[in-house]
Amino acid sequence: MATYAIGDIQGCFGPFQQLLRQIEFNPGKDTLWLTGDLVNRGPESLQVLRWVFQQQDRVQIVLGNHDLHLLAVSEGFGKLHRSDTVDDILNAADGKVLLDWLRCQPLMIAEQGYAMVHAGLLPEWSIDKALRLAEEVEDGLSGPYYRDFLSRLYGNKPTRWADDLKGAERLRVIVNAMTRMRFITREGEVDLAYKGELDGAPANLIPWFEAKGRRSSHTPIICGHWSALGLHVTEDILSIDSGCLWGGSLTALRLEDRQTFSLPCPVYREVAA
C-alpha cells in the first residue's frame, strides 16, 4: 500500500499511463495524489479527466490554474487561447458530468503529515489557516452561485493578503496564491509576471517557499505548477512539476519514503523564446 504524488499532467495521458505502469500502481490498494492542472496544452485532456473521474475513489487532486480556466470558459467566462486543448471536454457527451465533478474538488489537502497545493502558500498563512481559506473558495465553487464566482475569477489584483479582504478580491488572492504563484517580492506581494528559472529572476523577487518566517514551513508541501523550476525536493518543499508538457519528464513521488520515479516525455509544446 503506497501513496504516490504525481506532478502536472496537463492532458499528457500517454506518459501518465506509462508512469503508472512504471510504478506498478495498484488501484486496489494504492492511492494517487495529483498536483492539479490535469488538463490543457497537452493532446488528451478528456482522456485524463475521464480516467481520474473513474478512479476517484483512489485519487485525490487539488485544482490548478488550468483546471479553473477550463471551468470558467465552460460557463462562458474568459476565452479560449490558441494554445488551449480543452475543446474535446467542452464538446463531450459526458463533459458536464466531468466538469461538475471537477468543480467540487479541493484547492488544498493536508493528510499523512503532508500538505498539497498546486502552486504555493503565502508566507503569513499557516497550514490550518490556508485550509480554511481554501475552503472558502471550495464553497464558492461547489455552491449554488458558482457562476458568479467564476465570473470574477480572472485578475492579478490584489497582490497582497489582508485578513479584512472581502468578496471577490479576497477569493481572488487565495486562488492566485494557491494556483498561480511562483514568486513573491521581498515586501511580500505576489508577483505573477515572471515565470522563469531561479537564476534569471529579478533581484526583488524570491521563490514563495524561501520567504523569511513562512508559517507553513513545519509541514512538507507537495506542489507543482513551476515547470521551469524542475524537480525540487527539500525537507519541506516537494515541487514535482518536471515539465512533461515541454519535453521534460513526468514525476511520481512516493510519500512513504520520498523515492522519485521519472518518465521522459515527448515534446508536446515548445518553450517560447
Residue 194, in any domain of the structure:
yes
Burial of 133 (0-12, 13-18, 19+ CB in 10 A): buried
This model's pTM is above 0.95: yes
Residue 145 corresponds to which cell in the numbers above? 452561485
What is the per-residue pLDDT for 76? Answer: 96
pLDDT digits (tens, 9 = 90+) for 171-197: 999 999 999 999 999 999 999 999 999
Please check whether residue 114 lies inside any domain of the structure: yes
Question: Cα–Cα distance between 207 and 243 in angstroms, integer?
Answer: 18
In a domain, residue 89? The reply is yes
Task: Give, in order, the Cα–Cα distances in Å from 217 to each of 182, 208, 234.
Answer: 16, 11, 11
Return d(Cα 68, Cα 44) in angstroms, integer.
Answer: 17
Domain annotation covers residue 167: yes
pLDDT confidence of residue 271: 54
Tens digits of residue pLDDT in 80-115: 999 999 999 999 999 999 999 999 999 999 999 999
Count up the domains in the chain and report the number. Answer: 1
pLDDT digits (tens, 9 = 90+) for 216-225: 999 999 999 9
Q: Do the domain assignments include residue 273?
A: no
**94 domain residue, yes or no:** yes
